Amino acid sequence: MIYLDSAASYPLLPEVRTSLMHAFENTYANSASSHILGESALSKVDEVREDLADLIGAYPSEIIFTSGATESNNIAFKSLLLSKELAPTKKHIVISAIEHKCVFAICEYLKTIGFEISIVLPNSCGIIEAESVKKELREDTVLVSIMHVNNELGSVNPISEIGSLCFERGILFHSDAAQSFGKTPIDVDDMNVDIMSFSAHKIGGPKGIGAVYIRDLRKRDILPVIHGAGQEQGIRGGTVAAPLIIGFGTAISLFPEYYEDFSKKNIRSYLLNQLQELGVEFIVNSNENNLPHIVSLSLPKTNSSLLVRDNEQTFCLAQGSACSSKEIEASHVLTALGLSREEAEFTFRISFTNDITHENIDHLVLAIKKAAI
């Protein structure tokens, strides 16, 4: 099977598997316990907290471990906006039309309790321009949330520019970095980000673990996302998942190198060149500057159902985003780019792992060619 869906979930790195097995066997104590094994678990968890903080230019005290980017996004919107520290008159939020579905679900909830949401459209390359965000800012804007890298297109948003706009106006700025973390540098100060979301399973770590960065967390009065026994600075109750965090830590330290090696293979350009050579008609729904592990490809002269049906035992491909691929409706990201439902149907998100080979791509290109209309 050739796995072309790493943006939905990246396979476990072999080193992560080893560290997980070791941690499940050995780091079983509760990190809140005061005996020697509990303290050892806590120090391992805090080591990962430090590594993550170091990588993004934050303090360890500003990192909370969560179950993944969905929960981190919930904390960014709900825990912060429903906290007592914010003025009750500030009820306007700005998001983009290409955010992950969970952001829309959270905003739908916030609308029911009086928040207003403005949605910024991307340009034709799938990028959210700072100017477009600026036009939506208001006196009562409390939060702007724009993802760093889009999960269907790989397009990279100008986070620093948008962050400065928010900083100048005293507006909280959140960015979902589920797709960018470990793949491109992040510095929360350079980017003027106040809150950022991360997920382990996008970088070869285990599912069910992620993190959220919250600037000056200790000075804030934030509503817990899970009321509990004081874990994670009282924001996220429940016994800390030490083994998963240790696995996440291994992915944090090793994934960037894997990604660098992958980037050197120029797989994306190879795919596009091979398609061109075989005379396959295609459109890439982003520009050259996107991250190289994702390519959104529209194939107007390819029978997409045939391509999927004939190759379901060979390739794992995504039509639309993973979370919505079983729905019949077109992906909201492609619709935001201006694609019709029909165009969205012949559009594929192809996302690579580090062990992809040029031969794998040759197979894919031949399969696409075979499904020509």
Ligand X SMILES: Cc1ncc(COP(=O)(O)O)c(C=O)c1O
Local structure of residue 330 (DSSP, 8 states): P
Closest to 291 in 3D by CA, of 172, 148, 163, 166:
148
Distances (CA, A) of 44 to 1, 39, 67, 206, 242: 36, 9, 18, 16, 8
Here the tokens at position 280 are 């396959």
Looking up tokens 């998963």, which residue turns up?
244
Indicate if 166 belongs to the active site. Answer: no
Instruction: Provide the minimum distance between the beta carbon of 70 and ligand X in the complex, in angstroms, as a whole number.
Output: 3
**Smallest separation (angstroms) from ligand X to the CB of 51:** 18
147 binds ligand X (CB under 6 A): yes
Query: Which residue among 31, 179, 290, 353 contacts ligand X (CB under 6 A)?
Result: 179
Question: Exactly one of 44, 91, 100, 215 binds ligand X (CB under 6 A); which one?
Answer: 100
Interface with ligand X in residues 109-128 (CB under 6 A) = none
Q: Quick one: 250 or 311, whose CB is closer to ligand X?
A: 250
- Length reported for the chain: 373
- DSSP output for 45-104: HHHHHHHHHHHHT--GGGEEEESSHHHHHHIIIIIHHTSTTS-TT--EEEEETTS-HHHH
Task: Specify the DSSP element, H or E, that contains 275.
Answer: helix 267-277
Enumerate residues 310-339 that contact ligand X by CB under 6 A: 323
Amino acid identity for residue 133 in this structure: V
Nearest approach, Cβ of residue 48 and ligand X (Å): 16
Residue 75 binds ligand X (CB under 6 A): no
- Number of residues located near ligand X, criterion CB under 6 A: 13
**66 vs 231, beta carbon nearer ligand X:** 66
Identity of the residue, 20 or 371, whose beta carbon is nearer to ligand X in the bound complex: 20
Measured from the CB atom, the residue of 81 and 294 that comes closer to ligand X is 294
User: Is 250 near ligand X (CB under 6 A)?
Assistant: no
Q: Is the dihedral of CA 228, 56, 203, 337 positive or negative?
A: positive
Which residues lie near ligand X (CB under 6 A)?
Answer: 68-70, 100, 102, 147, 151, 176, 178-179, 199, 210, 323
Please list the active-site residues: 323
